[in-house]
A = this chain, B = another copy of it.
Amino acid sequence: MAVAERARDRVQQVRPAIIDTDVHNELEPLETIHPYLDEHWLRHLKDFGLRGYSGATYPRFLNRRADAKPPSGKPEGSDCSFTSRQLLDEWNVAYAILNPLTPGAAQLDPEFSAALCTAINDWQVAEWLEPEPRLRGSLNVAYEDGELAAREIDRLGDDRRFAHVLISIRTAEPLGRRKYWPMFDAAVRHHLPLAIHVGGAGGSPAGAAGFHSFYIEDHTGWPMAYQSQVISLIAEGVFERFPGLKVVLIEGGFAWIAPLMWRLDDVHRRLGGEIPDVRRAPSSYIREHFWVTTQPMEEPPRPAQFNRLLDQLAMNDRLMFATDYPHWDFDAPDASIPVRLEPALHRAIMGENAARLYGLNLAS
């Protein structure tokens, strides 16, 4: 639910404390990164600027809550102390996972991309993770080059203040393909989940039939990109190759998962011989390797249907609350779930599932 306005009028502590698995620390203005780049790459950035893959989504899809402008005058979501106050204090958030969506991770120049990611990760440590112990960071990596991504994961992956490796859902190739495997290997090596957020570009249109006309199509179409990538990760045998790999799907909804499992299991039963590395029913990989976040979720018109959706999905231990702060479609913690859940399940979704995945201690 879009509750930015209501949230503003409400000062309400959520009990017990929760974990917010999708918060954006905005790298704005871009010059913020300058002190973290070495001379060569700073020069490169100034001389050439950025050049990513074509086919990106709307530049303004990350618009912010009107009330998220910090008194410091900085852009919304770019001021750590204001995020602490407006999100963590106000809503009793024990931990929040930062997902900085930056242009660094998918530059066409691979080494430049890697250098930007290194700078972005150092910026997170210095300006977010050091000052605010309730925050956890995301490793930005040059994900279109598996080796370079692995190099960055090896550099910082043992710093427990980083919660996961972050990539975008729209990649240049289907995500199961081998060029991405060194990144998966490194993530597993450092016990870091791979988190996949809405966004990115890889040259292809979002749909199967060319570029569409409207933002609404872009926004409605994100689950298609997630379906495509889940299919690829399974079909390419990634989870047989990397049995420790955990994947978090952020902001893609989850009502599409059960129908996809049915379809995948059926076609696998009939044609599994094509992909002998895939030894089990595809749905079993999904239930074992995937986690999903709640914002935004598909909300059926009748509450009973939401409960059935959870029953279809059978992944109650994999749903993790998220606000998407400070983006325009922020979900307030007390209004994000359209039905009154049974208390144990509510606690699981609001924090315990994330605590288990990320090794966080909610009692503290």
Contacts and interface: CB of A to CB of B under 8 A. Distances in A.
A146 interface: no
Given A174-B210, A275-B214, A298 B259 contact: yes
B216 A275 contact: yes
Interface string A289-316: 0000000101111000100100110000
A52 interface: no
Number of this chain's copies in the complex: 2
B215 A208 contact: no
A219 interface: yes
Contacts of A345: none
A107 interface: no
Interface in A243-302: 253, 255-256, 258-260, 262-264, 266-268, 270-272, 274-275, 296, 298-301
B228 A213 contact: no
Contacts of A232: 207, 209, 212-213, 217
Interface stretch (A7-15, A112-120, A198-206): A198-206
A266 B228 contact: no
A209 B308 contact: no
A268 to B, nearest CB: 7
A295 B16 CA distance: 48
A173 B301 contact: no
B256 A228 contact: no
B208 A170 contact: yes
Contacts of A260: 220, 223
- Listed from nearest, the 9 A-B pairs whose CB atoms lie closest are A207-B228, A255-B259, A208-B225, A262-B298, A224-B224, A174-B212, A173-B210, A171-B209, A206-B208
Given A174-B207, A223-B259, A263-B298, 5 more contacts: A207-B225, A214-B275, A216-B271, A221-B228, A223-B260
24 contacts: A2-B270, A174-B211, A174-B213, A203-B210, A204-B209, A207-B208, A207-B232, A208-B225, A209-B225, A209-B229, A215-B274, A216-B274, A217-B232, A217-B235, A219-B271, A220-B263, A223-B259, A223-B263, A255-B258, A258-B300, A262-B299, A262-B300, A266-B296, A305-B312
